[in-house]
Amino acid sequence: MREKEQLEYLFLDLEWNQVPETTGLVGREAIQIGVVAANTEIQKIKTFSKAIRLSDPNLFNEKTEIVTHTPITNIMQGKEENVVLTEFAKHFPEYHFLVVWNRETYDLFLRDMRKNGILIKRHKPVFLQEVLSVITGNENDPIGFEKALTCAGIKYTRNYLHYAKHDVNYLYQLYYQCFQQYNSVTAEEKCFANETTRKLHTENCRYVKDMAVERKSIVPKSTIFKGYTVCKCCGKSQSWKQLEWEFGNKEQNKKYRDDLKQLPLTETNIEKICKWFQLSYSITSDIVFVRTAFSRWIVYLQKDKVKKLLHENYRICKSQYLKKQKMKCIEGYHKQKLPSENFFEVIQYIKYHDAGNVKRMSKKSRLEKLLEMVDMELKMKNTGEKDYGYDNMPELRRTNIG
């Protein structure tokens, strides 16, 4: 019962066989299912993966073996579709959000569940490909799954792609990372939600004026990750774009990175660098305050060079936390060894330093995880209340990305 209450997210991937000379759902049959279940903090609870036997081996498409690395002999060793989906429904009777890569996967899932008479509880589908297309400003050219993993910096094994057991884990990592980043950089930004159409609108959207009061609510922009879609009218504006993904080839990306390293540190160029690493920031005088999903940093500049780096003491006791509101700017921070005087390289260091901490946390004991998660949640709550730990500096001008 406790596990059932905690289950919030279901990440789902299906691999299928398409009968030759057919398109769409007609002639399409699932051959693999992969599932990751997560709680409200998007932490994994359990996984599920099965091979699904084809109803008729004569319908097998040779291209399926090339794409999924699975020969027909392996597929026919799986269980029947009805057995697998019934087992799936038993393991995951309820969930609030069903995250899939695209609508093709979702449509196949719904069709097969209904075909086998398996009840589907009410939930909110999230099409991650569509979400990423909006928040990266690439809605006119939907991004591919492998390209998304590359842009997000998620490590993957190419030979494991198009294998449901592995793809669903990549899908989980992609959602978790992009949601945390987007939630961080839009912490102060709100939008309007139409609870009837489940569409999101910016405050300047023409449809907001005509929206009935009882249907309208103010929500964080990160609600785009919660089963809402962005209005086609205001979705074309750059206000939704927050993740700076480069869609060029590796040579183009390398050149762009090299160019960023050489830029003089104007506010515009600082913004470009922080957006490249998908980090939130604020500037005052020759100081840059950087916030990751894990902690906060202070970077001191002098003539286009970094002269000092401070890192937040994220391990604090309760009494220290209660005093945090009254701290001066640099209290609660320690001096960090400077990896470079180049601002780009320092921001790169910050990015992967905190990413490493998150990875190490996953290997700690259950108690340590709980204690540090509580601390991180308190920080995020503190952020949500617009307290950046810099309130004793009235001259600070906060600059929003976007």
Quick: pLDDT tens for 355-378: 766 555 544 455 555 565 566 555
At 48, the pLDDT band (50, 70, 90 cuts) reads very high
Better pLDDT: 351 or 316: 351
Q: Residue 256 contacts by C-beta under 8 Å, 6 or more apart in sequence? A: 246, 248
Hey, what amino acid is at 44?
A: K
Residues 6 or more apart whose Cβ sits within 8 Å of residue 161: 145, 146, 167, 170
Q: 182 is written with which tokens? A: 């987007």
SS3 142: coil
Residue 295 makes CB contacts below 8 A (sequence gap 6+) with: 311, 312, 314, 354, 357, 379
Residue 318 has pLDDT above 50, yes or no: no
Q: Hey, what are 283's tokens?
A: 């500037």
268 is written with which tokens?
């515009």
* Relative orientation angle of helices 145-152 and 128-135, to the nearest 10 degrees: 50
What's the start-to-end Cα distance of the chain, in Å? 43
Taking the whole predicted model, whether its pTM rises above 0.75 is answered as no
Residue 188: band (very low, low, confident or very high) from pLDDT cuts 50, 70, 90: confident
